């Protein structure tokens, strides 16, 4: 190391591993291989410079060029990956103000803690305490917990501690913006006095005015390499000219990029408009097809409804005709009679008679009822079955029978014929009843069914029985 130098930097290189998603636990690193992947970022690419005793040097350059990394290498916070750094004398750094402050301790207690970081013993702090407090201008708050300080007060105290260290080399990184303007001026004047006292100063700052006033020499670092060094005023001017050129080039580039973006947006707008027009055409075509389909379905639905309405109308007319025919074939026909069936074999006359052979619709329990039925057949020789049913006025089905069971077989239809059913000694009790008559084929398909064709009544008898029918009973009383 040369006698006149206090700092010698030779071919210093520094790189960092920037992990994409660094795992902090061994399990995370083992499970996810992606977390072990990193990018090697080279910050310094072999820089070399000397700083003489009592010299003030400023490091300038764009963000990310390696200025602060160089300062941390000089303070030995970081170690280089290549090259050597030698320093002579006591080094004090003003890189992170307030490092080591405890928020629950008072400002006075934190002065001792922070000074010990710089290697100052307690007795020496006792001797300098009044100067530190006076320089920070925090006399009224020095015994308050640091957590009650504002950010400006916090930085004042930290700068005051750091600036009152008797160091041979003072390293400063962007800390001259502490406090208000008057305190900044006070800090700047203090640094000038330290320089005049023979302290070597290396400062990193974007304030080129401060660099020109405070530094004898400036080192311009660009992309991890020393681009130029020399008198601070000259280097700062060339740096500003370069930055202005870069700004104009960047502005031109951004303008061209903006034009390209506008062009792309215009093309996208046209494409979007074209796509929208095509979608509108497609939607209109689909709408037209859908409307045509809906119109077709509507017409089909109308035709179906019309057909159903006509069918229902024919059915009603047929029912009406059949119901009207009920009154034609039964002089005793009630108002609720209805008729259904194929009509191949059908009734032509239905009568309800009493024992004297007279038409009658009122009977007493125990009397005989005769049901006389006449029919015609379009196809003689069919197997047919006659059946009757009796239902009470509350729709309770009381009785039903057919000739198939009584005659043990079907009848053979004639072109026309007559059949009489005798109900002997009816056991029905007092109420109103309805007679149903049916003609069915051997599969129980309906040829002619007439419901409620005759309404008749059963009159009360001397006995006081109640219910549906009369049952012969006998009471035996035992002692």
| Cα–Cα distance for residue pair 67/70, rounded to 1 Å | 5
Mean pLDDT of 358-381: 92
Burial status of residue 249 (CB atoms within 10 A of its CB: 0-12, 13-18, 19 or more): exposed
> What pLDDT, on a 0 to 100 scale, did the predictor assign at position 398?
92
How is residue 425 written in tokens? 């000694």
Task: Show the CA angle centred on residue 217, arms to residues 214 and 219, nearest 5°.
Answer: 115
pLDDT digits (tens, 9 = 90+) for 426-476: 889 999 999 999 999 888 888 999 999 999 999 977 667 777 887 877 788
Residue-range domain boundaries for the chain: 5-241, 338-459
Least confident residue range of 49-63, 104-118, 149-163, 224-238: 149-163
> Above pLDDT 90, what percent of the chain?
47
> What pLDDT, on a 0 to 100 scale, did the predictor assign at position 185?
81
Number of H helices and number of E strands within the chain?
9, 19
> What pLDDT, on a 0 to 100 scale, did the predictor assign at position 47?
92
> Above pLDDT 70, what percent of the chain?
92
Burial status of residue 458 (CB atoms within 10 A of its CB: 0-12, 13-18, 19 or more): buried
> What pLDDT, on a 0 to 100 scale, did the predictor assign at position 457?
93
Give yes or no for residue 262 having a pLDDT over 70.
yes
Alpha-carbon separation of residue 333 from 109, 323, 369 (angstroms): 121, 10, 16
pLDDT digits (tens, 9 = 90+) for 268-282: 999 999 999 999 999
Give yes or no for residue 26 having a pLDDT over 70.
no
pLDDT digits (tens, 9 = 90+) for 148-163: 988 778 888 888 887 7
pLDDT digits (tens, 9 = 90+) for 52-84: 998 999 999 998 899 989 988 998 888 999 999
Give yes or no for residue 23 having a pLDDT over 80.
no
Given a contact cutoff of 8 angstroms between Cβ atoms, the answer to whether 200 and 7 are in contact is: yes
> What pLDDT, on a 0 to 100 scale, did the predictor assign at position 152?
79
CATH of domain 5-241: 3.40.50.300
> What pLDDT, on a 0 to 100 scale, did the predictor assign at position 321?
59
Topology (CATH) of 338-459: Coagulation Factor XIII; Chain A, domain 1 (2.70.50)
Give yes or no for residue 302 having a pLDDT over 70.
yes
**What is the overall mean pLDDT for the chain?**
86
> What pLDDT, on a 0 to 100 scale, did the predictor assign at position 184?
78
pTM of the model: 0.54
> What pLDDT, on a 0 to 100 scale, did the predictor assign at position 81?
92
Mean pLDDT of 78-102: 82
Within a 10 A sphere around the Cβ of 391, how many other Cβ atoms? 17
Give yes or no for residue 33 having a pLDDT over 60.
no
Give yes or no for residue 353 having a pLDDT over 90.
yes
> What pLDDT, on a 0 to 100 scale, did the predictor assign at position 329?
85
């Amino acid at each position: 190391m040369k006698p006149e130098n206090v700092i010698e930097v030779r071919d210093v290189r520094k790189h960092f591993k920037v992990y994409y998603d660094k795992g902090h636990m061994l399990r995370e690193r083992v499970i996810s291989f992606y977390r072990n992947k990193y990018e090697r970022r080279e910050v310094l690419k072999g820089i070399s410079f000397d700083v003489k005793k009592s010299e003030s040097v400023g490091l300038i350059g764009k963000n990310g060029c390696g200025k602060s990394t160089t300062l941390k290498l000089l303070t030995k916070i970081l170690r280089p990956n290549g090259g050597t750094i030698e320093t002579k004398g006591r080094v004090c750094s003003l890189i992170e103000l307030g490092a080591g402050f405890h928020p629950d301790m008072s400002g006075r207690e934190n002065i001792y803690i922070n000074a010990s970081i710089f290697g100052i013993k307690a007795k020496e702090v006792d001797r300098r305490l009044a100067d530190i407090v006076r320089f920070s201008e925090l006399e009224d708050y020095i015994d308050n917990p640091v957590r009650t300080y504002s950010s400006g007060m916090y930085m004042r105290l930290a700068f005051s501690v750091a600036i009152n260290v008797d160091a041979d080399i003072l390293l400063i990184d962007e800390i001259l913006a502490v406090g208000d303007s008057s305190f900044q001026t006070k800090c700047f004047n203090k640094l000038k006095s330290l320089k005049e006292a023979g302290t070597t100063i290396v400062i990193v700052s974007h304030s080129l005015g401060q660099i020109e006033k405070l530094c004898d020499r400036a080192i311009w670092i660009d992309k991890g390499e020393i681009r130029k060094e020399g008198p601070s005023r000259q280097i700062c001017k060339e740096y500003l000219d370069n930055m202005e050129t870069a700004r104009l080039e960047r502005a031109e580039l951004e303008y061209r990029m903006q034009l390209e973006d506008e062009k792309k947006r215009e093309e996208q707008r046209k494409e979007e408009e074209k796509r929208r027009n095509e979608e509108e055409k497609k939607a209109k075509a689909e709408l037209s097809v859908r409307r045509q389909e809906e119109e077709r379905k509507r017409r089909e639905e109308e035709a179906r409804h019309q057909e159903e309405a006509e069918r229902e109308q024919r059915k009603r007319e047929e029912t009406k005709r059949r119901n009207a025919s009920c009154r034609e074939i039964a002089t005793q026909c009630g108002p609720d009679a209805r008729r259904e069936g194929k009509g191949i074999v059908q009734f032509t006359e239905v009568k309800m008679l009493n024992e004297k052979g007279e038409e009658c619709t009122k009977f007493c329990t125990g009397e005989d009822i005769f049901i006389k039925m006449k029919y015609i057949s379009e196809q003689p020789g069919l197997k047919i079955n006659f059946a009757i049913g009796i239902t009470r006025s509350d729709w309770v089905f009381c009785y039903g029978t057919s000739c198939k069971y009584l005659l043990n077989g079907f009848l053979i239809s004639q072109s026309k014929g007559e059949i009489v059913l005798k109900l002997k000694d009816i056991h029905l009790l007092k109420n109103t009843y309805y007679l149903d008559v049916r003609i069915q084929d051997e599969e129980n398909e309906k040829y002619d069914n007439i419901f409620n064709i005759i309404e008749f009544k059963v009159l009360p008898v001397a006995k006081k029985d109640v219910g549906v029918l009369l049952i012969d009973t006998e009471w035996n009383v035992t002692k």
